[in-house]
Amino acid sequence: MSNIVTSEAGKKRPLLRTLEIDTRLLGMIGAFLAICLIFNLITDGRFLTPRNIFNLSIQTVSVAIMATGMVFVIVMRHIDLSVGAVLAMCSSVMGVLQVRYLPEHLGLGSAWIMPITILAGVITGALIGALNGWLIGYQKIPAFIVTLGGLLIWRNVGWYLTDGQTQGPLDQTFLLLGGVEGTVGSMVSWLLALAFSAAAIWTIWRARQAKIAHEFPVKPLWAEGALMATAVVAILGFVGILNSYAIPVGRLMREFQLRGETMPEGYVDYYGLPISVLILIVIAVVMTLVARRTRFGRYIFAAGGNPDAAELSGINTRLLTVKIFTLMGVLCALSAMVAQARLANHTNDIGTLDELRVIAAAVIGGTALAGGVGTIYGAVLGAVIMQSLQSGMAMVGVDAPFQNIVVGGVLVLAVWIDIQYRKRTGEKI
């Protein structure tokens, strides 16, 4: 806001403007809360239990990771229809390595299996992504066609790698990345929650200090305080819920037995934050930093807003295209890692239809297909909304075909609402 408007509007400014909150974000959070409350009502309180929220979180991670990359792709006016297939390809490489080759050479259960597997998966994803980007950026084949081809190609290359067989059991350390098996426990979760809260407060405070240093107008202190409080409550609340999900007694007893101890009477322990959710948080934070605070991110948005202007400003938009698709490929590999660890093996149909879920998550999260507009948090929230709808309906016992009908309808509805919103705020659609 400019100086004049600030002083003219004075104290009469609406609350949302004072807080400088994105109304679209607020709308999405509202929709999400509505979905949760409705399902909670229908299922007699089974939807909003720590157990279900835990499951929801780990089910969302795979799509959400890819959705953060899809934001960049769509912002640059491209599309990637091959993410589900690339995920399957990376997953097959990682599956074959863990099940067939690495145990043979390194010995079963070697500590090297996990890092080598992940590295190989990431390299596979990066190479496929770079190839896509080169075909799109330098050879000028439309992204729709290149990735439509990829959709047919990569899952089936993966099929040949595995001879169509399910790959399992996976490496024990690797399984920790999936979620159910790998949580950090309640103690570490609380510590992390405190660290995240401190980081949130510090970020808001530092932004304010930077504005003051340049003598820009700032929000009133209470508004900053309210934002900080909201962030802290949200972080602590989420971790608190996950920390109240108790590990079943049977599993605890098994763990004690494995260590040759007996479990004390009345012993309880809690899951806490799943490692996969931590991975998603780290990726989302890094991707947000990339989008907002790096030249690379700035160029993506500039090229999406006006490709000619970006080119005339000396930005190499072709190379930029290669970079965003490479990044997309790497994120597909990380998604594959989380997805196969959660499912405990690689199957050939892993990630089927994920391309549609990922695109839907990004679009529901406010990424405009016309390019130039999109946020990482929006895409993650979009993925959460999609997943809650899907698992809520499954919980209620809605037939699978009808679930898809609803999800499809919601996607179209979300874009329609977004268009109405943009019309009202006078944005270009």
| Residue 251 found at the interface with other proteins (CB under 8 A) | no
Q: Which of 294, 410, 298 lies closest to 363, judged by CA?
A: 410
Least spacing, CB of residue 203 vs other proteins, in Å: 13
* Residue 65 CB-density burial (10 A; 0-12 exposed, 13-18 middle, 19+ buried): buried
Distances, alpha carbon 72 to alpha carbons 26, 304, 339, in Å: 22, 9, 22
Q: Using CB under 8 A, which of the segments 128-136, 189-197, 286-294, 325-333 binds other proteins?
A: 286-294
Closest CB to other proteins among residues 320, 384: 320
| Residue 294 found at the interface with other proteins (CB under 8 A) | yes
Q: Which of 267, 241, 243, 270 lies closest to 253, judged by CA?
A: 267
Closest CB to other proteins among residues 257, 294: 294
Closest CB to other proteins among residues 154, 301: 301
Q: Using CB under 8 A, which of the segments 2-10, 52-60, 231-239, 352-360 binds other proteins?
A: 2-10
Closest CB to other proteins among residues 180, 218: 218
| Residue 423 found at the interface with other proteins (CB under 8 A) | no
Total residues binding other proteins (CB under 8 A): 34
Least spacing, CB of residue 108 vs other proteins, in Å: 43
| Residue 378 found at the interface with other proteins (CB under 8 A) | no
Q: Using CB under 8 A, which of the segments 79-87, 238-246, 291-299, 414-422 binds other proteins?
A: 291-299
Q: Which of 199, 233, 282, 289 binds other proteins (CB under 8 A)?
A: 289
Q: Which of 279, 59, 275 lies closest to 182, judged by CA?
A: 275
Closest CB to other proteins among residues 185, 305: 305
| Residue 422 found at the interface with other proteins (CB under 8 A) | no
DSSP result, 210-278: HHHHTT-----HHHHHHHHHHHHHHHHHHHHHHHT-BPPHHHHHHHHHHTT--PPTT---B--SBHHHH
Tokens of 11: 């104290």
Q: Which of 355, 304, 323, 321 lies closest to 136, judged by CA?
A: 321
Site track for other proteins across 315-344, x = CB under 8 A: x-----------------------------
Distances, alpha carbon 116 to alpha carbons 111, 242, 361, in Å: 9, 31, 31
Closest CB to other proteins among residues 23, 172: 23
Least spacing, CB of residue 423 vs other proteins, in Å: 14
Asked, as a colleague might, if the bond just before 115 is cis with ω within 30 of 0, I would say: no
Least spacing, CB of residue 133 vs other proteins, in Å: 19
| Residue 56 found at the interface with other proteins (CB under 8 A) | no
Residue 378: partners with Cβ closer than 8 Å, 6 or more residues away: 24, 25, 28, 71, 362, 365, 366, 367
* Residue 43 CB-density burial (10 A; 0-12 exposed, 13-18 middle, 19+ buried): middle
CB 30 within 8 A of CB 246: no
Q: Using CB under 8 A, which of the segments 35-43, 175-183, 262-270, 289-297 binds other proteins?
A: 289-297
Tokens of 106: 């390194």
CB 184 within 8 A of CB 272: yes
Closest CB to other proteins among residues 205, 267: 205
| Residue 10 found at the interface with other proteins (CB under 8 A) | no
Least spacing, CB of residue 304 vs other proteins, in Å: 7
| Residue 312 found at the interface with other proteins (CB under 8 A) | yes
Report DSSP state, residue 35.
Answer: H
Question: Rounded to 5 degrees, what are φ and ψ at 183?
Answer: -125, 160
Least spacing, CB of residue 295 vs other proteins, in Å: 5
Least spacing, CB of residue 67 vs other proteins, in Å: 20
| Residue 203 found at the interface with other proteins (CB under 8 A) | no
Least spacing, CB of residue 290 vs other proteins, in Å: 10
| Residue 286 found at the interface with other proteins (CB under 8 A) | no
Which parts of this chain interact with other proteins (CB under 8 A)?
1-5, 210-211, 213-214, 216, 289, 293-295, 298-299, 301-306, 308-315, 372-373, 426, 428
